[in-house]
């Protein structure tokens, strides 16, 4: 982590905040100071990350109940949407089982779980894991969301290590990767939450290793989310792509399948 994070323990959430500080091994303070910094606090019944200083962006938290994720769910992002096609969802077929190796704030995983996929999420940052765990806990009690949240599970760990130690079976149908892309400045794509996380955590440096490990363990494919004009993850050319105006999904076949398919041109599968 590039900056220290302090946990604010005050009011009726004091004991919870103290327990979190002990778990994450972060320092405690009893109120939000004026000087610039990063803070975790329980407020409005949720865990949120606050950045202070000038200009201070709004808090970062996970919200599957009322935010953008809820909107995407109500709009009914369908099985023909680029994300669904990227993970190999096809009409008339059972939804694929997904391992989301870069869980982040769980937004993509939530969309996939809404479409019926079982999603195992892996997040390496204890701070992001805590935010996501809190969002899942709140959403699990929300009428209409229980079944979706029941399809989502979360583990704290490094996905490269986890994939390397994973038994050959059962393999996830799709391993989904969305490593932090080093956006510069305040581009529209680098949304407020991701800008804050990027500032705090820095760029993801294990993209190429993650792709290699994922291609060894995926049952059917690895889907990598990238900004539309970004370079390939680890400079490795995908087997095929699914494009939308701002986002591109680079699809890689598992290592063994790719050897057979090499030099064959494949379109959206
Ligand atoms: C851009 S965010 C993912 C956003 C996510 N797709 C969403 O919809 O909210 C990338 C996340 O992947 C995590 N990450 C990167 N490399 C990882 C690894 N090797 N193992 C586990 N998590 C990783 C980072 O800590 C960060 O939280």
Identify the CATH number of the domain in which residue 32 sits: 3.40.1630
For residues 143 and 234, state if they share a domain. yes
Q: What is the pLDDT of residue 265?
A: 45
Atom 11 in ligand 1: residue holding the nearest Cα: 104
Same domain, 37 and 128: no
Nearest residue CA, atom 12 of ligand 1?
102
Residue 3 is predicted with a pLDDT of 86
Number of Cβ within 10 Å of residue 152's Cβ equals 25
Does residue 262 register a pLDDT over 60?
Answer: no
Q: Decide whether any atom of ligand 1 lies within 6 Å of the 207 Cβ.
A: no
Cα–Cα distance measured from residue 178 to residue 103, given in angstroms and rounded to the nearest whole number: 8
188 lies in some domain: yes
Looking at the structure, tell me whether residues 117 and 21 fall in a common domain.
no
Q: Which helix (H) or strand (E) covers residue 186, if one does?
A: none
Of the ranges 110-124, 181-195, 225-239, which one carries the lowest mean pLDDT score? Answer: 181-195
Question: Any idea which residue has 């400045």 for tokens?
Answer: 185
Q: Is 105 in the pocket of ligand 1 (CB under 6 A)?
A: yes
For residue 57, tell me if it sits in a domain.
no
Residues 6+ away with beta carbon under 8 Å from 173: 87, 88, 96, 97, 98, 218, 219, 220, 221
- Let me know: does 120 contact 155? Beta carbons within 8 Å: yes
Of the listed ranges 151-160, 200-209, 218-227, the least confidently predicted one is 200-209
User: Has residue 47 been placed in a domain?
Assistant: yes
Considering the domain architecture, whether residues 89 and 186 belong to the same structural domain is answered as yes
Q: In terms of pLDDT, which residue wins out, 81 or 34?
A: 81
Q: What is the pLDDT of residues 98-111, one digit of tens each?
A: 999 999 999 999 99
The count of structural domains within the chain is 2
pLDDT at 189: 45
**Residues 269, 267: Cα–Cα separation, whole Å:** 6
User: What is the spatial distance between Cα 231 and Cα 146, in angstroms, rounded to a whole number?
Assistant: 38
User: So what's the pLDDT on residue 73?
Assistant: 64
Do both 102 and 14 map to the same domain? no
- Residue 187's CATH number: 3.40.50.150
Q: Is 107 in the pocket of ligand 1 (CB under 6 A)?
A: yes
Q: What is the pLDDT of residue 269?
A: 47
Does residue 113 lie within any of the structural domains?
yes
Residue 261 has pLDDT above 80, yes or no: no
Q: Does 267 map to a domain?
A: no
Query: Model pTM?
Result: 0.91
In terms of C-beta density within 10 A (0-12 exposed, 13-18 middle, 19 or more buried), how is residue 153 classed? middle
Question: Half-sphere exposure of 25 toward its Cβ, with a 13 Å CA cutoff?
Answer: 3
What domain range includes position 21? 5-52
Do 89 and 180 have their domain in common? yes
């Amino acid at each position: 982590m590039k900056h220290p994070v302090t946990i604010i323990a005050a009011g009726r959430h004091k004991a919870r905040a103290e327990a979190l500080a002990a778990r994450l091994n972060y320092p405690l303070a009893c109120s939000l100071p004026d000087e610039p910094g990063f803070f975790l606090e329980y407020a409005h019944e949720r865990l949120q990350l606050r950045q202070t200083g000038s200009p201070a962006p709004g808090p970062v938290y996970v919200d599957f109940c009322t935010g953008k994720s809820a909107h995407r769910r109500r709009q009914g992002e369908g099985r023909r949407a680029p994300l669904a096609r990227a993970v190999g969802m096809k009409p008339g077929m059972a939804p694929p089982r997904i391992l989301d190796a870069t869980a982040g704030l769980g937004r993509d995983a939530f969309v996939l779980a809404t479409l019926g996929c079982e999603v195992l999420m892996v997040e390496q940052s204890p701070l992001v894991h805590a935010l996501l765990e809190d969002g899942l806990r709140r959403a699990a009690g929300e009428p209409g969301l229980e079944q979706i949240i029941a399809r989502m599970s979360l583990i704290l760990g490094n996905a490269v290590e986890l994939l390397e130690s994973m038994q050959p079976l059962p393999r996830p149908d799709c391993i989904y990767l969305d490593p932090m892309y080093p956006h510069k400045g305040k581009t529209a794509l680098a949304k407020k939450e991701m800008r804050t996380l990027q500032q705090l955590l820095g760029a993801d440096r294990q993209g190429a290793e993650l792709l290699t490990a994922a291609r060894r363990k995926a049952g059917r494919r690895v889907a990598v989310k990238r900004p539309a004009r970004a370079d390939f993850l680890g400079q490795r050319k995908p087997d095929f792509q699914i494009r939308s105006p701002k986002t591109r999904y680079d699809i890689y076949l598992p290592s063994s399948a790719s050897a057979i398919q090499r030099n064959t041109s494949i379109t959206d599968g």
